Every structure is written in structure tokens, then in C-alpha cells.
Structure 1
Amino acid sequence: MAAQRTYGGLSAEERRAQRRSALLDAALEIIGTQGLDKLTVSGMCTQAGLNERYYYESFGSRDDVLTALVDGIAEELVLAIVAAAHTATGDSRDIAHAAITAGIHLLTDDPRKTEVTMVAAMATPQLRARTTETIRVFARLVASEGVEFYGVTDPAPDPVIDFRATYLVGGLVQTLTSWVRGDLAIGRDTLIDYTTDVFVLLGEDFARRNDPD
């Protein structure tokens, strides 16, 4: 097999990945500062400093760009939440508070990410479907973390775990959206505290109901 040609120490695949990343960064900046309506192929390429042909190298439509942005932010969230939960010490409230703080801070420290997750993620049927699937992924993550924390060993855990995890994640998404829009007159720290209260309440209630003692 012929060796892959490199330029500047980077392979063709690495250069494509760099261009794709630059286009996504450009899309995030445009959406976050100018609004979703201003996201165009030419605008993205100008912002990224790339020829328009490179857009079609990575994306077939604007939905593909937005899906990639949503997926990227979701991946960041998973890493931040899991890292916070696994490094936190203390009781269930301390761990939940750390994980929720990490997630909410990641989404709200950068208003551009807030705009993508709260507005762009619901812009089209394709994106709404992707958002629904992302919520399912996070619900499964919450359920998995809960099973591990509370030491559930049943090979077929109670279906209420998935129900409560889905309820918590879906409710948090709606609550965070309302908070970002200014419909909830509370500060971010209070939002985190209230969210922690609800997660712990349902988690501890489940633990009590399933305690054999």
C-alpha cells in the first residue's frame, strides 16, 4: 500500500479533520453571535478561512452541520458529567451536585453552546429527532450512574429506573430552556441546587423502596 502523502507533518485525513473542525467552530460562532438564520455555506467558509469546496468535503446540508455541533456538545457534556461524578466525594447529594454543576456550567458558560442546544437543536425534524435520541442517551447515562451508585445488582433492574432517569433528563432540558429564556427568576447556583434536590429526591426514594432491610 502506498504511503499516505503528508503536508506540514499532517496526513490528508488529519487535514480534512482540521478543516471540518474549523467549519464547526465557524458555525458555532455564527449561530452564537448572529443567530441561526445567518448560518450559510459562504459565511461558514469565510469565518473559517476556507474555500467553499471544503464545506462539501465534510457536510451535505446545514442539518448535517447542526447535527455535528449538537453531537459534539453532547460528547463534551458526557465527559464533563462523568468526570465530575467520578471525582466528587461525599454523599449522593455531593456527587449529584458536582455532576449537575459540570453539565449546566458547560452549557451556560459559553452562550454560543446555549444557543445551539436550546435553539438550533430544535430547528428541523431531523434535529428534533437527534435531540430526542440525545436525551435518551443522557437518560441511560443517569440510569447507569444511579445503578452503580446505589449498588443495584439485579440483572434486570426495575423499569422505574429508566422511567425516572428519562423524567429527570427531559425535565431538566425543559427547565434549563425556560431558565435561559428568562422565564425562571432564579440565579444559576439556585437552579443547580433545585435540580440537585430533585435528582437526589428520586434517587434516594428509589433506594429506600428497594432496600431489603
Structure 2
Amino acid sequence: MTRSYRGASGAERTRQRRARLIEAGYELLGTEGLAATTMTAVCGRARLTERYFYESFANLDALLVAVLDDAAGTLEERVRTALEKAPARPREKLRAALYAYVELTEQDPRIIRAMLVESLGNPALRARRHEHVHRFAGLVSAHARQHYGDALGDARATIGSLLLVGGLSEVTMSLAAGELDTSWPEIVAAIVDEFDALANG
């Protein structure tokens, strides 16, 4: 029989502690950076002991990867929802997906530092970032092939989607760093035009 404490089962309390550790790791990684995201700092921010850290994670890298997965999952959910609601026209689908990304990064700038900047400084995070880039590119590619059809082709869809996702990451970091004298509406318009030209070229 599973015991409960204050209405929560042991499994639920474990899930809650894990979520607190991930949120603490995300806050540290997204605001103070990789060097400040230590196990001690994470436990302190989550108000949990190291015993509970090891209850959910084998080591710090495992937590960092979970943080990245959680952030990427939030982004993917936003993008998929935007794609589902957008009009069934290729340019509108892409525009909606891009603005879903923009909206999230503006609402929670931590995601830029955690996913795009700090993830480059740790081998485990860098590998996971690579996986997420390819997964998001796969999502873009699948929708592109669906809406552009044979005009795009598999190889061109894959290449174009990787260029879009990878390039968007670089543009985001440059814009956040104040290196670009432009705005998101201009960026989104340029990306939509470029991808449309690739699909119809």
C-alpha cells in the first residue's frame, strides 16, 4: 500500500521535489549562468537537501539536461499550439510558430540564456541542445513538406529547417546582446520570406 502525507503519495512528493529542483536549476542557469549552477546552489534555492537531489538525479549533468528538456518542452508546446491555430497557409503557419517562440522568449528571457548560451559550455548540455535543434527542425520540416508538398522535397525541407532553427538561435542571441539594430517583426518577416523563397525556388 502506498503511504500518503498531507494528501500526497510518496510518488507525488518525489515528483514535486524533482520539479522544484528543475525550477531551481532553470532559475540559476537562466539568470546567473552555468558556473553558478552547482548542486549546492540548486539544493539551496529549492530548499531541499542533497539526499533529495540524488533521489531524482544521478549527478549535476542529469539535472542540467532535465532543465534543458523542460524548457524545450515548454517551447515545443507553444509552437505546436500556434501551428494548430494558424490558418492553413504555409507563410501563416511559419509566422505563427515564430511569434510563439518570440512571445515565450520575451515572457521568460531565462530560456535564451539557458537553452542557447549556457548550454554551449557543458558537454552534456551541448549534446542535448544538438538533439533539440534537430527535433525542432524536424517539426518545421514536417509542416513544410505538408504545406509546400513536392515543391520543397525532403532534402531541401531538412536543410532549410536546420538553417531556420540554427539561424534563429544565432539571431536571438545577437538581438539579446544588443548586436542587431532591428526588431522581431522585421526578423520574422525576413525569415518567412527566405523560407518561402527556398520552398518555391
TM-score by length of 2: 0.89
Q: How does 1:112-151 map to 2 (within 5 A)?
A: 112-151=110-149
In structure 1, distance between residues paired with 2:91 and 2:74: 23
Paired position in structure 2 for 1:159: 155
Which residue of 2 is the match for residue 94 of structure 1?
92
Larger radius of gyration: 1
Shift of 1:151: 4.3
Answer yes or no: is the 8 Å Cα contact 1:96–1:200 preserved in 2: no
Q: Give how far 1:25 is off.
A: 0.9
Distance 2:179 2:146 in 1: 35
For 1:30 and 1:90, the matched residues in 2 are separated by 40
Residues 17-36 of structure 1: pairs in structure 2 closer than 5 A:
17-36=15-34
Structure 2 letter corresponding to 1:173: S
Deviations, residues 142-171 of structure 1 (Å, cap 9, x unaligned):
11111222345xxxx532221222222222
Cα drift, residue 101 of structure 1? 0.5
Moved more, 92-101 or 195-204: 195-204
Q: Aligned equivalents of 2:194 and 2:61: distance in 1? A: 34
> Which whole-Å deviations, capped at 9, do the CAs of 1:8-63 have from their partners, x for residues lacking one?
22222211111011011111222233332221222212211212211111122222
The one of 15, 20, 45 aligned to 2:13: 15
Is structure 2 residue 60 aligned with structure 1 residue 52?
no
TM-score normalised over the length of structure 1 = 0.85
Following the alignment from structure 1 to structure 2, what is the Cα–Cα distance between the partners of residues 76 and 203? 28
Cα RMSD, aligned residues only: 1.8
Aligned pairs for 1:68-87 (under 5 A) are: 68-87=66-85
**May I ask how many residue pairs the two structures share in their alignment?**
199
Partner-residue secondary structure (3-state), 1:36:
coil
1:192 to 175, 181, 188: 188
Q: Which residue of structure 2 lines up, in the alignment, with residue 107 of structure 1?
A: 105
Q: 8 Å contact 2:33–2:118 — kept in the other structure? A: no
The percent identity for this pair of structures is: 34
Amino acid at match of 1:190: E
Aligned to 1:62, which of 60, 63, 67? 60
Moved over 3 A (4+): none
From 161, 170, 174, the counterpart of 2:170: 174
Q: Contact 2:160–2:195 at 8 Å: present in 1 too? A: no
Asked if the contact 2:95/2:188 (under 8 Å) is kept, the reply is yes
In 2, the alpha carbon distance for the partners of 1:32 and 1:169 equals 20
Find the counterpart in structure 2 of residue 43 from structure 1: 41
- Per the TM alignment, residue 68 of structure 1 is displaced from its structure 2 partner at its CA by 0.9
Unaligned runs of 5+ in 2: none
Which residue identity is paired with 1:31? Answer: L
Q: When you count helix as a share of all residues, which structure comes out higher?
A: 2
